Amino acid sequence: MSEPADLLFTNVRLATMADGGHGIIDDAALAVRGGRIAWAGRRLDAPPAAQVHDCGGAWMTPGLVDCHTHIVHAGTRSHEWEARLNGASYEDIARQGGGILSTVRATRAAADDELLRQSVPRVRALLAEGVTTLEIKSGYGLTLETEAKMLRTARRIGELLPVKVCTTFLGAHALPPEFAGRADDYIDEVCERMLPALAGEGLVDAVDAFCERIGFTHAQTRRVFDAARRLGLPVKLHAEQLSDQGGAALVAEYGGLSADHLECLTPDGVAAMARAGTVAVLLPGAYHFLRETRMPPLQALREAGVPLAVATDCNPGTSPLTSLLLAMNLACTLWRLTPLEALLGCTAHAARALGRGDIGTLAPGKRADLALWDIERPADLAYAMGARPCRLVVHGGVPRLPDASLDLQLAG
Ligand code: DI6
Ligand code: FE
Protein backbone atom coordinates (compact mmCIF):
# COMPACT_ATOMS: atom_id res chain seq x y z
CA MET A 1 0.00 0.00 0.00
CA SER A 2 1.35 3.43 -0.91
CA GLU A 3 0.26 5.44 2.15
CA PRO A 4 -0.75 4.29 5.64
CA ALA A 5 -4.35 3.21 6.21
CA ASP A 6 -6.69 5.42 8.27
CA LEU A 7 -7.66 2.63 10.61
CA LEU A 8 -6.49 -0.91 11.26
CA PHE A 9 -8.63 -3.49 13.07
CA THR A 10 -6.25 -6.10 14.43
CA ASN A 11 -6.43 -9.23 16.58
CA VAL A 12 -9.67 -10.11 14.85
CA ARG A 13 -11.20 -13.21 13.25
CA LEU A 14 -12.67 -12.42 9.85
CA ALA A 15 -15.65 -14.10 8.22
CA THR A 16 -15.23 -12.38 4.85
CA MET A 17 -18.29 -14.14 3.29
CA ALA A 18 -16.44 -14.02 -0.03
CA ASP A 19 -16.57 -16.82 -2.63
CA GLY A 20 -19.74 -18.45 -1.31
CA GLY A 21 -18.36 -19.57 2.06
CA HIS A 22 -17.45 -18.09 5.44
CA GLY A 23 -14.03 -17.15 4.02
CA ILE A 24 -12.52 -17.35 7.50
CA ILE A 25 -9.17 -15.69 8.20
CA ASP A 26 -8.02 -16.37 11.77
CA ASP A 27 -5.61 -14.12 13.64
CA ALA A 28 -6.33 -11.44 11.08
CA ALA A 29 -6.41 -7.71 10.53
CA LEU A 30 -8.41 -5.41 8.26
CA ALA A 31 -7.36 -1.94 7.08
CA VAL A 32 -9.70 0.92 6.13
CA ARG A 33 -8.81 3.90 3.96
CA GLY A 34 -11.16 6.58 2.65
CA GLY A 35 -14.24 4.72 3.88
CA ARG A 36 -13.31 1.56 1.96
CA ILE A 37 -11.66 -1.70 2.90
CA ALA A 38 -8.04 -1.24 1.83
CA TRP A 39 -6.66 -4.60 2.89
CA ALA A 40 -7.67 -7.80 4.76
CA GLY A 41 -5.38 -10.66 5.68
CA ARG A 42 -3.16 -12.24 8.32
CA ARG A 43 -2.25 -9.99 11.25
CA LEU A 44 1.47 -10.53 10.72
CA ASP A 45 1.24 -9.01 7.25
CA ALA A 46 -0.82 -5.96 8.27
CA PRO A 47 0.06 -2.59 6.73
CA PRO A 48 0.82 0.54 8.81
CA ALA A 49 -2.16 2.67 9.88
CA ALA A 50 -2.76 6.03 11.54
CA GLN A 51 -5.00 4.39 14.16
CA VAL A 52 -5.07 0.81 15.41
CA HIS A 53 -8.04 -0.87 17.11
CA ASP A 54 -7.32 -4.14 18.95
CA CYS A 55 -10.47 -6.27 18.64
CA GLY A 56 -9.46 -8.67 21.41
CA GLY A 57 -10.02 -11.75 19.25
CA ALA A 58 -13.64 -10.86 18.36
CA TRP A 59 -15.26 -11.93 15.08
CA MET A 60 -15.85 -9.47 12.25
CA THR A 61 -18.35 -9.90 9.40
CA PRO A 62 -19.58 -7.53 6.71
CA GLY A 63 -22.24 -5.18 8.10
CA LEU A 64 -25.61 -6.95 7.80
CA VAL A 65 -27.97 -6.10 4.93
CA ASP A 66 -31.77 -6.27 5.37
CA CYS A 67 -32.84 -6.43 1.72
CA HIS A 68 -36.68 -6.45 2.08
CA THR A 69 -38.56 -4.22 4.51
CA HIS A 70 -41.73 -2.13 4.74
CA ILE A 71 -40.27 -0.45 7.84
CA VAL A 72 -41.70 3.01 7.08
CA HIS A 73 -45.38 2.87 8.01
CA ALA A 74 -47.78 4.27 10.58
CA GLY A 75 -49.77 2.37 13.19
CA THR A 76 -49.81 -1.31 14.06
CA ARG A 77 -52.21 -4.14 13.19
CA SER A 78 -52.19 -6.02 16.46
CA HIS A 79 -55.99 -5.98 16.41
CA GLU A 80 -55.98 -7.96 13.16
CA TRP A 81 -53.45 -10.37 14.52
CA GLU A 82 -55.79 -10.95 17.43
CA ALA A 83 -58.72 -11.43 14.99
CA ARG A 84 -56.72 -14.04 13.12
CA LEU A 85 -56.08 -15.85 16.38
CA ASN A 86 -59.84 -15.78 16.83
CA GLY A 87 -60.37 -17.50 13.48
CA ALA A 88 -60.23 -14.94 10.61
CA SER A 89 -57.78 -15.51 7.73
CA TYR A 90 -55.36 -12.88 6.35
CA GLU A 91 -57.21 -12.90 3.01
CA ASP A 92 -60.64 -12.50 4.78
CA ILE A 93 -59.33 -9.46 6.61
CA ALA A 94 -57.88 -7.97 3.42
CA ARG A 95 -61.19 -8.43 1.56
CA GLN A 96 -63.07 -6.63 4.35
CA GLY A 97 -60.97 -3.50 3.84
CA GLY A 98 -58.52 -4.29 6.61
CA GLY A 99 -55.06 -5.64 6.05
CA ILE A 100 -52.80 -3.51 3.90
CA LEU A 101 -55.55 -0.88 3.48
CA SER A 102 -55.77 -0.23 7.22
CA THR A 103 -52.06 0.65 7.19
CA VAL A 104 -52.69 2.76 4.09
CA ARG A 105 -55.25 4.81 6.04
CA ALA A 106 -52.87 5.32 8.97
CA THR A 107 -49.88 6.13 6.74
CA ARG A 108 -51.82 8.60 4.62
CA ALA A 109 -53.02 10.35 7.78
CA ALA A 110 -49.57 10.67 9.37
CA ALA A 111 -47.67 13.94 8.89
CA ASP A 112 -44.08 13.60 7.63
CA ASP A 113 -42.48 13.97 11.07
CA GLU A 114 -44.97 11.58 12.64
CA LEU A 115 -44.21 8.92 10.04
CA LEU A 116 -40.50 9.39 10.74
CA ARG A 117 -41.05 9.33 14.51
CA GLN A 118 -42.90 6.01 14.33
CA SER A 119 -40.44 4.41 11.90
CA VAL A 120 -37.12 5.34 13.52
CA PRO A 121 -37.36 3.03 16.59
CA ARG A 122 -37.80 0.04 14.27
CA VAL A 123 -34.73 1.08 12.29
CA ARG A 124 -32.74 1.57 15.50
CA ALA A 125 -33.54 -1.99 16.54
CA LEU A 126 -31.94 -3.25 13.31
CA LEU A 127 -28.94 -0.96 13.68
CA ALA A 128 -28.29 -2.28 17.19
CA GLU A 129 -27.61 -5.69 15.69
CA GLY A 130 -25.11 -4.71 13.03
CA VAL A 131 -27.31 -3.75 10.06
CA THR A 132 -25.53 -1.20 7.84
CA THR A 133 -27.76 -1.33 4.71
CA LEU A 134 -31.52 -1.41 4.64
CA GLU A 135 -34.06 -1.61 1.83
CA ILE A 136 -37.28 0.35 2.46
CA LYS A 137 -40.38 0.02 0.28
CA SER A 138 -43.24 2.42 -0.26
CA GLY A 139 -46.69 0.93 -0.83
CA TYR A 140 -48.81 2.23 2.06
CA GLY A 141 -49.60 5.58 0.41
CA LEU A 142 -50.90 4.57 -3.04
CA THR A 143 -51.19 8.18 -4.25
CA LEU A 144 -48.36 10.16 -5.78
CA GLU A 145 -48.18 12.49 -2.77
CA THR A 146 -48.29 9.82 -0.08
CA GLU A 147 -45.92 7.43 -1.86
CA ALA A 148 -43.53 10.40 -2.17
CA LYS A 149 -43.95 11.04 1.57
CA MET A 150 -42.97 7.45 2.36
CA LEU A 151 -39.94 7.49 0.07
CA ARG A 152 -38.74 10.88 1.34
CA THR A 153 -39.07 9.55 4.88
CA ALA A 154 -36.96 6.54 3.89
CA ARG A 155 -34.31 8.85 2.43
CA ARG A 156 -34.35 10.99 5.61
CA ILE A 157 -33.70 7.88 7.69
CA GLY A 158 -30.55 7.33 5.63
CA GLU A 159 -29.50 10.92 6.32
CA LEU A 160 -30.29 10.96 10.05
CA LEU A 161 -29.02 7.52 11.03
CA PRO A 162 -25.79 5.66 10.21
CA VAL A 163 -27.33 3.33 7.64
CA LYS A 164 -27.40 3.16 3.85
CA VAL A 165 -31.03 3.13 2.67
CA CYS A 166 -32.09 1.67 -0.70
CA THR A 167 -35.61 2.76 -1.68
CA THR A 168 -38.10 0.64 -3.60
CA PHE A 169 -41.32 1.94 -5.17
CA LEU A 170 -44.15 -0.50 -4.38
CA GLY A 171 -47.08 1.52 -5.72
CA ALA A 172 -48.62 -1.74 -6.99
CA HIS A 173 -49.00 -3.11 -3.45
CA ALA A 174 -52.79 -2.91 -3.03
CA LEU A 175 -55.70 -1.32 -4.87
CA PRO A 176 -56.54 2.01 -3.19
CA PRO A 177 -60.26 2.50 -2.36
CA GLU A 178 -60.58 5.40 -4.86
CA PHE A 179 -59.86 2.87 -7.64
CA ALA A 180 -62.13 0.06 -6.36
CA GLY A 181 -63.14 -2.11 -9.35
CA ARG A 182 -60.68 -0.24 -11.61
CA ALA A 183 -57.37 -1.98 -11.07
CA ASP A 184 -56.18 -1.38 -14.62
CA ASP A 185 -56.80 2.34 -14.26
CA TYR A 186 -54.75 2.34 -11.06
CA ILE A 187 -51.91 0.56 -12.87
CA ASP A 188 -52.09 3.35 -15.52
CA GLU A 189 -51.66 5.85 -12.69
CA VAL A 190 -48.71 3.88 -11.24
CA CYS A 191 -46.96 3.54 -14.61
CA GLU A 192 -47.71 6.85 -16.25
CA ARG A 193 -47.82 9.33 -13.39
CA MET A 194 -46.47 8.04 -10.07
CA LEU A 195 -43.36 6.13 -11.12
CA PRO A 196 -42.02 8.73 -13.59
CA ALA A 197 -42.55 11.56 -11.08
CA LEU A 198 -40.96 9.70 -8.15
CA ALA A 199 -38.05 8.49 -10.25
CA GLY A 200 -37.60 12.02 -11.55
CA GLU A 201 -37.21 13.19 -7.95
CA GLY A 202 -34.49 10.56 -7.39
CA LEU A 203 -36.60 8.65 -4.86
CA VAL A 204 -36.59 5.23 -6.55
CA ASP A 205 -33.71 2.75 -6.58
CA ALA A 206 -35.88 -0.23 -7.66
CA VAL A 207 -39.49 -1.15 -8.48
CA ASP A 208 -41.55 -3.91 -6.81
CA ALA A 209 -45.15 -5.17 -7.05
CA PHE A 210 -47.43 -7.56 -5.15
CA CYS A 211 -48.36 -10.18 -7.76
CA GLU A 212 -51.10 -12.06 -5.92
CA ARG A 213 -54.84 -12.82 -5.90
CA ILE A 214 -55.28 -10.02 -3.33
CA GLY A 215 -52.75 -7.83 -5.18
CA PHE A 216 -52.18 -7.45 -8.93
CA THR A 217 -52.30 -9.88 -11.82
CA HIS A 218 -49.43 -11.19 -13.91
CA ALA A 219 -50.47 -8.88 -16.78
CA GLN A 220 -50.68 -5.83 -14.52
CA THR A 221 -47.29 -6.65 -12.99
CA ARG A 222 -45.82 -6.88 -16.48
CA ARG A 223 -47.03 -3.36 -17.20
CA VAL A 224 -45.32 -2.08 -14.04
CA PHE A 225 -42.09 -3.80 -15.10
CA ASP A 226 -42.33 -2.29 -18.59
CA ALA A 227 -42.66 1.17 -17.01
CA ALA A 228 -39.61 0.48 -14.81
CA ARG A 229 -37.65 -0.69 -17.81
CA ARG A 230 -38.47 2.50 -19.74
CA LEU A 231 -36.90 4.46 -16.86
CA GLY A 232 -33.91 2.12 -16.58
CA LEU A 233 -34.87 0.97 -13.07
CA PRO A 234 -34.26 -2.58 -11.78
CA VAL A 235 -37.23 -4.70 -10.71
CA LYS A 236 -38.00 -7.22 -7.99
CA LEU A 237 -41.27 -8.93 -7.00
CA HIS A 238 -43.40 -10.22 -4.14
CA ALA A 239 -43.91 -13.55 -5.87
CA GLU A 240 -45.63 -16.83 -5.05
CA GLN A 241 -46.32 -15.93 -1.41
CA LEU A 242 -49.96 -17.03 -1.09
CA SER A 243 -50.56 -18.59 -4.52
CA ASP A 244 -48.70 -19.42 -7.74
CA GLN A 245 -49.11 -16.56 -10.22
CA GLY A 246 -46.00 -17.25 -12.29
CA GLY A 247 -44.45 -14.14 -10.73
CA ALA A 248 -40.94 -15.55 -10.25
CA ALA A 249 -40.66 -16.45 -13.94
CA LEU A 250 -42.00 -12.99 -14.84
CA VAL A 251 -39.47 -11.08 -12.74
CA ALA A 252 -36.72 -13.36 -14.05
CA GLU A 253 -37.79 -12.54 -17.61
CA TYR A 254 -37.03 -8.88 -16.81
CA GLY A 255 -33.61 -9.80 -15.37
CA GLY A 256 -34.98 -8.88 -11.93
CA LEU A 257 -32.80 -8.48 -8.85
CA SER A 258 -34.93 -10.78 -6.70
CA ALA A 259 -38.13 -12.76 -6.28
CA ASP A 260 -39.29 -12.61 -2.68
CA HIS A 261 -41.35 -14.97 -0.42
CA LEU A 262 -41.68 -17.96 -2.84
CA GLU A 263 -43.65 -20.36 -0.61
CA CYS A 264 -45.68 -21.43 -3.69
CA LEU A 265 -42.79 -21.42 -6.19
CA THR A 266 -42.92 -24.08 -8.94
CA PRO A 267 -40.03 -25.89 -10.70
CA ASP A 268 -40.50 -23.63 -13.75
CA GLY A 269 -40.07 -20.58 -11.54
CA VAL A 270 -36.91 -22.04 -10.02
CA ALA A 271 -35.44 -22.71 -13.46
CA ALA A 272 -36.27 -19.22 -14.72
CA MET A 273 -34.65 -17.61 -11.65
CA ALA A 274 -31.52 -19.72 -12.08
CA ARG A 275 -31.20 -18.74 -15.74
CA ALA A 276 -31.60 -15.03 -14.96
CA GLY A 277 -29.44 -14.97 -11.81
CA THR A 278 -32.40 -13.64 -9.80
CA VAL A 279 -31.89 -13.93 -6.02
CA ALA A 280 -34.48 -15.79 -3.88
CA VAL A 281 -35.28 -13.55 -0.90
CA LEU A 282 -36.63 -15.71 1.92
CA LEU A 283 -38.89 -14.08 4.51
CA PRO A 284 -39.33 -16.53 7.38
CA GLY A 285 -40.89 -13.87 9.64
CA ALA A 286 -43.99 -13.74 7.39
CA TYR A 287 -44.12 -17.54 7.17
CA HIS A 288 -43.96 -17.80 10.95
CA PHE A 289 -46.38 -14.96 11.67
CA LEU A 290 -49.02 -16.20 9.17
CA ARG A 291 -48.57 -19.76 10.46
CA GLU A 292 -47.92 -20.77 6.85
CA THR A 293 -47.19 -24.45 6.26
CA ARG A 294 -46.00 -24.48 2.63
CA MET A 295 -42.23 -24.02 2.51
CA PRO A 296 -40.21 -22.41 -0.30
CA PRO A 297 -38.66 -25.23 -2.39
CA LEU A 298 -35.22 -24.80 -0.87
CA GLN A 299 -33.62 -27.96 -2.11
CA ALA A 300 -34.66 -27.19 -5.69
CA LEU A 301 -33.34 -23.62 -5.35
CA ARG A 302 -30.01 -24.91 -4.02
CA GLU A 303 -29.67 -27.52 -6.73
CA ALA A 304 -30.36 -24.88 -9.38
CA GLY A 305 -27.71 -22.60 -7.86
CA VAL A 306 -30.10 -19.75 -7.02
CA PRO A 307 -28.54 -17.46 -4.37
CA LEU A 308 -30.61 -17.35 -1.16
CA ALA A 309 -31.06 -14.13 0.81
CA VAL A 310 -32.88 -13.72 4.15
CA ALA A 311 -34.69 -10.54 5.23
CA THR A 312 -37.11 -9.35 7.91
CA ASP A 313 -40.00 -8.17 5.64
CA CYS A 314 -40.63 -5.81 8.58
CA ASN A 315 -44.29 -4.80 8.14
CA PRO A 316 -47.27 -4.40 10.46
CA GLY A 317 -49.47 -7.08 8.89
CA THR A 318 -47.48 -10.21 8.23
CA SER A 319 -44.04 -9.75 9.79
CA PRO A 320 -43.73 -7.24 12.63
CA LEU A 321 -40.09 -8.24 12.98
CA THR A 322 -37.22 -5.88 13.70
CA SER A 323 -34.47 -8.45 14.23
CA LEU A 324 -32.47 -9.71 11.27
CA LEU A 325 -30.64 -12.13 13.57
CA LEU A 326 -34.00 -13.65 14.53
CA ALA A 327 -34.90 -13.89 10.82
CA MET A 328 -31.70 -15.91 10.40
CA ASN A 329 -32.67 -18.17 13.29
CA LEU A 330 -36.18 -18.68 11.88
CA ALA A 331 -34.76 -19.56 8.45
CA CYS A 332 -32.56 -22.20 10.10
CA THR A 333 -35.09 -23.64 12.53
CA LEU A 334 -38.20 -23.57 10.31
CA TRP A 335 -36.60 -24.30 6.94
CA ARG A 336 -33.29 -25.92 7.82
CA LEU A 337 -31.09 -23.37 6.17
CA THR A 338 -27.56 -23.90 7.38
CA PRO A 339 -26.13 -21.10 9.55
CA LEU A 340 -23.70 -20.39 6.69
CA GLU A 341 -26.59 -20.00 4.23
CA ALA A 342 -28.38 -17.70 6.67
CA LEU A 343 -25.30 -15.48 7.10
CA LEU A 344 -24.63 -15.35 3.35
CA GLY A 345 -28.32 -14.47 3.06
CA CYS A 346 -27.85 -11.34 5.18
CA THR A 347 -24.49 -10.32 3.66
CA ALA A 348 -23.22 -11.29 0.19
CA HIS A 349 -26.51 -12.54 -1.22
CA ALA A 350 -28.58 -9.72 0.30
CA ALA A 351 -26.20 -7.22 -1.31
CA ARG A 352 -26.74 -8.95 -4.63
CA ALA A 353 -30.54 -8.79 -4.12
CA LEU A 354 -30.13 -5.01 -3.92
CA GLY A 355 -27.82 -4.88 -6.95
CA ARG A 356 -25.03 -3.53 -4.72
CA GLY A 357 -21.63 -4.84 -5.73
CA ASP A 358 -19.89 -2.54 -3.23
CA ILE A 359 -21.06 -4.19 0.01
CA GLY A 360 -21.72 -7.65 1.48
CA THR A 361 -18.20 -9.10 1.72
CA LEU A 362 -14.94 -8.13 3.39
CA ALA A 363 -12.75 -7.56 0.36
CA PRO A 364 -10.46 -4.72 -0.72
CA GLY A 365 -12.37 -1.97 -2.51
CA LYS A 366 -15.72 -2.68 -0.80
CA ARG A 367 -17.33 -0.08 1.46
CA ALA A 368 -16.00 -0.37 5.02
CA ASP A 369 -19.37 -1.51 6.44
CA LEU A 370 -18.39 -3.92 9.19
CA ALA A 371 -19.83 -5.56 12.30
CA LEU A 372 -17.77 -6.81 15.24
CA TRP A 373 -19.30 -9.58 17.34
CA ASP A 374 -18.89 -11.18 20.78
CA ILE A 375 -19.39 -14.76 19.58
CA GLU A 376 -17.43 -18.00 19.58
CA ARG A 377 -18.19 -18.89 15.97
CA PRO A 378 -20.21 -17.42 13.08
CA ALA A 379 -23.10 -19.90 13.55
CA ASP A 380 -23.79 -18.23 16.93
CA LEU A 381 -25.34 -15.28 15.06
CA ALA A 382 -28.22 -17.49 13.90
CA TYR A 383 -28.21 -19.75 16.97
CA ALA A 384 -29.06 -17.44 19.85
CA MET A 385 -32.56 -15.95 19.96
CA GLY A 386 -32.79 -12.45 21.41
CA ALA A 387 -29.05 -12.11 22.02
CA ARG A 388 -27.38 -8.78 21.32
CA PRO A 389 -23.88 -9.94 20.36
CA CYS A 390 -22.93 -6.88 18.31
CA ARG A 391 -20.03 -5.00 19.91
CA LEU A 392 -19.11 -2.38 17.31
CA VAL A 393 -20.39 -1.30 13.90
CA VAL A 394 -18.40 0.50 11.21
CA HIS A 395 -20.41 2.41 8.62
CA GLY A 396 -18.48 3.76 5.63
CA GLY A 397 -15.28 3.54 7.70
CA VAL A 398 -16.76 5.36 10.72
CA PRO A 399 -17.03 3.28 13.92
CA ARG A 400 -20.07 3.56 16.19
CA LEU A 401 -21.44 1.66 19.13
CA PRO A 402 -24.34 -0.61 18.12
CA ASP A 403 -26.89 1.54 19.95
CA ALA A 404 -25.11 4.89 19.47
CA SER A 405 -28.01 5.96 17.27
CA LEU A 406 -30.20 5.82 20.39
CA ASP A 407 -28.71 9.18 21.37
CA LEU A 408 -30.17 10.81 18.30
CA GLN A 409 -32.73 13.44 19.23
CA LEU A 410 -35.31 14.00 16.56
CA ALA A 411 -36.88 17.43 16.33
CA GLY A 412 -40.45 17.40 17.61
N1 DI6 B 1 -46.47 -9.17 1.25
C2 DI6 B 1 -46.27 -9.07 2.56
O3 DI6 B 1 -45.90 -9.94 3.28
C4 DI6 B 1 -46.52 -7.70 2.93
N5 DI6 B 1 -46.80 -7.07 1.70
C6 DI6 B 1 -46.78 -7.96 0.78
O7 DI6 B 1 -46.98 -7.64 -0.38
C8 DI6 B 1 -47.69 -7.58 3.83
C9 DI6 B 1 -48.01 -6.17 4.01
C10 DI6 B 1 -49.12 -5.96 5.00
O11 DI6 B 1 -49.90 -6.86 5.32
O12 DI6 B 1 -49.20 -4.80 5.45
FE1 FE C 1 -42.94 -7.71 1.76
Tell me the pLDDT tens digit for each residue of 14-39.
999 999 999 999 999 999 999 999 99
Binding site membership of 317 for ligand 1 (Cβ less than 6 Å): yes
> How does pLDDT run across 366-398, given as a tens digit for each residue?
999 999 999 999 999 999 999 999 999 999 999
> How does pLDDT run across 141-174, given as a tens digit for each residue?
999 999 999 999 999 999 999 999 999 999 999 9
Closest-lying ligand 1 atom to the alpha carbon of residue 77: 12
Please tell me the predicted confidence (pLDDT) of residue 249: 98
Binding site membership of 318 for ligand 1 (Cβ less than 6 Å): yes
Distance CA(332)–CA(340), nearest Å, equals: 10
Nearest alpha carbon to residue 208 among 181, 227, 180: 227
Binding site membership of 315 for ligand 1 (Cβ less than 6 Å): yes
Please tell me the predicted confidence (pLDDT) of residue 405: 52
Nearest CA to ligand 1 atom 2: 318
What is the number of other CB atoms lying within 10 angstroms of the CB of residue 209?
Answer: 30
Give 304's pLDDT tier (boundaries 50, 70, 90).
very high
- Give the angle subtended at the CA of 349 by the CAs of 292 and 236, to the nearest 5°: 65
Give 89's pLDDT tier (boundaries 50, 70, 90).
confident
Q: Report long-range pairs for 229-235 (Cβ below 8 Å, ≥24 apart).
A: 229/254, 231/195, 231/196, 231/199, 231/204, 233/195, 233/199, 233/204, 233/205, 233/206, 233/207, 234/205, 234/206, 234/207, 234/355, 235/206, 235/207, 235/208
Is residue 285 predicted with pLDDT exceeding 70? yes
Binding site membership of 69 for ligand 1 (Cβ less than 6 Å): no
What H or E segment, with its residue span, contains residue 393?
Answer: strand 390-395
Is residue 412 predicted with pLDDT exceeding 90? no
Which residue type sits at 280? A
Is residue 410 predicted with pLDDT exceeding 80? no
Mean pLDDT of 78-84: 90
State whether residue 225 is helix, strand or coil. helix
Mean pLDDT of 213-239: 97
Determine which of 71-85, 223-237, 365-379 has the lowest per-residue pLDDT on average.
Answer: 71-85
Distance CA(141)–CA(176), nearest Å, equals: 9
| Average pLDDT value over all residues in the chain | 95
360/408: higher pLDDT: 360
Is residue 353 predicted with pLDDT exceeding 80? yes
State whether residue 265 is helix, strand or coil. coil
Please tell me the predicted confidence (pLDDT) of residue 133: 98
| Helix %, strand %, coil % of the chain (to 5) | 40, 25, 40
31, 46 contact by CB (below 8 A): yes
Mean pLDDT of 278-302: 97
- Give the angle subtended at the CA of 151 by the CAs of 145 and 156, to the nearest 5°: 120
46, 37 contact by CB (below 8 A): no
Q: Tell how far the Cα of 319 is from the centroid of ligand 2, in angstroms.
A: 8
Q: Tell how far the Cα of 248 is from the centroid of ligand 1, in angstroms.
A: 17
Bridge-partner residues for 12, per DSSP?
A: 28
Closest-lying ligand 1 atom to the alpha carbon of residue 99: 11
Q: Under 8 Å CB-to-CB from 158, ≥6 apart: which residues?
A: 164, 165
Q: What does pTM read for this prediction?
A: 0.96
Mean pLDDT of 190-194: 98
Half-sphere CA count of 325, side-chain side, radius 13 A: 23
Binding site membership of 205 for ligand 1 (Cβ less than 6 Å): no
Binding site membership of 100 for ligand 1 (Cβ less than 6 Å): yes
